[in-house]
Amino acid sequence: MEVYDSLDNYQKSDKPAIATIGTFDGLHIGHRKILRKIIQEAKGLNGESVLISFYPHPRLVLFPEKNNLRLLHSLDEKREMLEEMGLDKLLLIPFTKEFSRTPPKVFVRKILWETVGIKKIVIGYDHRFGKNRAGDIHKLQALSREFQYEVEEIPAQAIEDANVSSTKIREALFKGDVRTANAYLGYTYHFTGKVIHGEKQGRKLGYPTANIQMEYPYKLIPSNGVYFVHVQLPGSFGDKSKYGMMNIGHKPTMGEFERGIEVYLFDFQGDLYGQPLTIQMLEYLRPEQKFDSKEALVQAIDGDRDRSLDLIQRYKDRVN
């Protein structure tokens, strides 16, 4: 996959370009339906599939005072997934306030026609673009006659009558509802962080944990609680993945701590300090809570362990 980080360095080819537009945060099942469409059509025409996207996320630029937006993907995660899908080109347009004022017709003429040279544009049912989000499917259709391209709209992708969206996935994760989030995404929600030194509280309880420092500041961390997870270890370890339990929160039974992420790995011994771990979130076990004693906390963790061990067998049975 070729990646371009500006309009100026984009290399237009003689091949017909089948494109789509959007931030595509999370690359959920609706996003990937559109992407599969342009990839398949481009192959059929001996053309190229192009995603025109934006970085940073427009809301981070337009509403900086409301900077509580958290994203489902880092840019590196998005690039990796797009390449795995077989996309030919990713055009990342630097999003600025000045760029946000681009009228829809100028957007179509300068970007879609002059820069990319699209033969066809495929968009989702609710896509908006250009100044004041005035561009939509009707605008694209009206301009298609002037700039000689086709337009195709993908209707609402739904699960149990609920339209899939990045917003709904974020809402599910903020509630700890990883099952719903994973169903909407079509894959397991995950994030990557580096193992750092912590307060060593887990060792006192018989459950030594790896404390995780996030690599990407805008990555969404789900709600506080205990989760069943699958962890990808660095390549230097022979067995490159382990199941485990993860706690997100403040460890209220043990004292007053900043919100943190810590993971206990089953059947693992080794030094992970400074190493990156990718954590896949499989199941929500329970909310974080303050217990009356450390003994009561250990009893709860023992219960989390027993439930997780049962889940490990169930997940292995699915694979086998």
Yes or no: say if 121 and 152 are a contact pair by the CB < 8 Å rule. yes
Tell me the angle at which helices 166-174 and 178-185 cross, rounded to the nearest 10 degrees.
160
Average pLDDT along the chain, 320 residues, taken 10 residues at a time: 95 95 93 94 96 93 83 94 97 95 95 96 87 89 94 71 83 96 95 87 82 91 96 78 94 83 92 92 94 91 95 74
- Secondary-structure class of domain 188-319 per CATH: mainly beta
**For 108-145, how does the pLDDT look when each residue is reduced to its tens digit (9 = 90+)?**
999 999 999 999 999 887 888 888 888 888 999 999 99
**3-class SS of residue 78:** helix
In this prediction, residue 317 carries a pLDDT of 67
β partners of residue 284: 227
- Measured CA to CA in angstroms, residue 74 lies from 26, 81, 192, 215, 296 at distances of 9, 11, 10, 9, 38
b/e code 224-247 from CB counts within 10 Å (16+ = b) = ebbbbbbbbbeeeeeeeebbbbbb
DSSP result, 102-162: --HHHHIIIIIIIII-EEEEEEETT--BSGGG-B-HHHHHHHHHHHT-EEEEEPPPEETTE
152-169 confidence digits (pLDDT tens)? 988 765 555 567 889 999
Q: What φ, ψ does residue 306 adopt, rounded to 5°? A: -60, -45
Q: Which residues are catalytic?
A: 262
Q: Cα-flanking dihedrals φ and ψ of residue 279, to 5°?
A: -110, 120
* Cα–Cα nearest to 128, from 46, 22, 230, 221: 22
Query: Is residue 71 a contact partner of residue 218, using CB atoms and an 8 Å limit?
Result: yes
The residues near 267 (Cβ < 8 Å, ≥ 6 apart) are: 242
Q: Which CATH number fits domain 2-163: 3.30.70.920, 3.30.450.20, 3.30.750.200, 3.40.50.620?
A: 3.40.50.620
CA dist 5 and 90 (Å) reads 8
Question: pTM for the whole thing?
Answer: 0.89
Measured in degrees and rounded to the nearest 5, phi and psi for residue 119 equal -95, -30
4 and 91 Cβ atoms separated by less than 8 Å: yes
Same topology, domains 2-163 and 188-319? Answer is no
Residue 71 per-residue DSSP state: B
pLDDT of residue 124: 81
Going from N- to C-terminal start, the domains of the chain cover 2-163, 188-319
